[in-house]
Amino acid sequence: MFPEFSLRYARLPERFYLRFDPVPVPEPRLVAFNRPLAEALGFDLTTFDEQRAAEWFSGNVVPPGADPVAQAYAGHQFGHFNPRLGDGRAVLLGEVVDREGRLRDIQLKGAGMTPFSRGADGRAPLGPVLREYLVSEAMHRLGVPTTRALAAVTSGERVFRRVPEPGAVLARVASSHLRVGTFQYFAARDDVEAVRTLADMAIERHYPHLLGPERAEADEGERYLALLEAVAERQAALVAKWMGLGFIHGVMNTDNCAISGETIDYGPCAFMEAYSSTMVFSSIDEQGRYAYRNQPWIAQWNLARFAETLIPLIDDDQEAAIEKATAVIERYETRYEAEWLGVMLAKLGLAGEEEGDRALVEAFLEALAAGRADFTLAFRRLSEALQEDAPALLELFEDSQALRTWLPRWRERLAREAASPEAVAARMNALNPLYIPRNHQVERAIAAASEHDDFGPFEALRGVQAEPFSEQPGCEAYAEPAPAAERVLRTFCGT
């Protein structure tokens, strides 16, 4: 059933990882399987067997051709550097080439206590596995670069966090699991050749244009500087997409910053409902370091840490290398602002950009904040107010005065683009989702599965999220904010 593994990472020198076979679980049961993703990866589903799949995706049986490893990495966690983290509960089975010729990692998360576990049990509770499955697949459907969920398997054992919970294993797919923290691990050990190896792998795998004929004459230092620039570009675009969806990652440590530009590690993540730029959900983010409004600048901070690892590769003259890398990091702000403005203008139905557009966007966000309006529904229902005030939009606002003042400005700006209201509405509704994985709905699905072994709510939510921009009759409740009694104000990592 599995496609052929290529084992690129497992063929690196052994200081990059520790070989580790997943620890078997007593009663593996497949509870979710992403058939479209499996087909895209090249799985042969004509021979699909659910029990065999449960054995493979739980780690009880190593798939043919796999060579499991736990990857080494370090990381800044809430600003504090830990030189040795690594995969404490995950194993990389290997890489496969998908049907489009792209290399993809397949990793098992919750596969047992590895040598990097630092005293933890190496397991995953069912709740965080289902959360990552739902939210990562929703992000994919929303057009955000992300790791993806291939399968979820219950283990038949209990794991202990705040309370005993059913155990599970997630099969995760990524363009790679190279992180800023992977580079930091070797930079902290002054292992320049290992950093060079990682940089070359990142270029070959994620930025092959840096190896094109036009760069044949470029020296190595220029290529590694170009890598830094390319990673910064992707991070700017990624975080702008997060901001446009009201998504809060919750734990933007450097070990959760992927070199590929994908969203990785959905621990205490959440989608904002009532708009507030200072919103924090993560129970472990007590100082608000990773609050919604801070995400762009934390990404820049993480990129600066990445730049530090590349200094010896960029130029033999350290001062010159620092100057070049600093210029790239400083350009991030301008790049991010352009990405963010592009995302937000598109959400407002604007195809072009004029002077004053940023102020228009900021005024709408201020109206959202003043009215305590739901972020997702306010943007979605805005398309109904193209010609006159829409009751469904106004009812989202506790105080709609700022919105009423703003709407004529917006309509006047749209009129200068001479597009029909129908065309603008279609454009907006293709970008502003109706359905997101709202916290209370995710928690309902987790509670039903964890407490009653009922995966019906999980499957229903999964089905709705597959078409986030399309109205689905009978699914109106999935678009609504949480009732007061079900509001989720704190999310937990689950590790």
* Termini Cα distance of the chain: 31
Q: How far from the centroid of its chain's Cα atoms is residue 237's Cα?
A: 12
Q: Which of 375, 444, 97, 141 is nearest to 263 (CA)?
A: 141
Which residue, 222, 263, 258, is CA-closest to 241?
A: 263
User: How far apart are the C-alpha atoms of 156 and 395, rounded to whole Å?
Assistant: 47
Residues 6 or more apart from 485 whose CB is under 8 A from it? Answer: none
Place of tokens 């003259």: 317
* Sign of the dihedral defined by the CA atoms of residues 269, 271, 272, 273, in that order: negative
Tokens 């050749």 belong to which residue? 193
Specify whether the CB–CB gap between 185 and 125 falls below 8 A: no
Side-chain-side CA neighbours of residue 184 (13 Å)? 27
Residue pair 243/169 in contact by the 8 Å Cβ criterion: no
Compute the distance between CA of residue 352 and CA of residue 343 in angstroms, rounded to an integer. Answer: 11
What token pair was written down for 62? Answer: 């190593």
Annotated active-site residue in 105, 255, 265, 315: 255
Q: Do residues 111 and 169 touch, judged by C-beta distance below 8 A? A: yes
44 exposure class (CB count in 10 Å sphere: 0-12, 13-18, 19+): exposed
Query: Does 191 participate in catalysis according to the annotation?
Result: no
Beta strands in 405-449 (DSSP E): none
Q: Which helix (H) or strand (E) holds 422?
A: helix 421-429
Which amino acid belongs to residue 96?
V
Single-letter code of the amino acid located at 344: M
Cα atoms in the 13 Å half-sphere on the side-chain side of 111: 31
Q: Which residues are catalytic?
A: 255
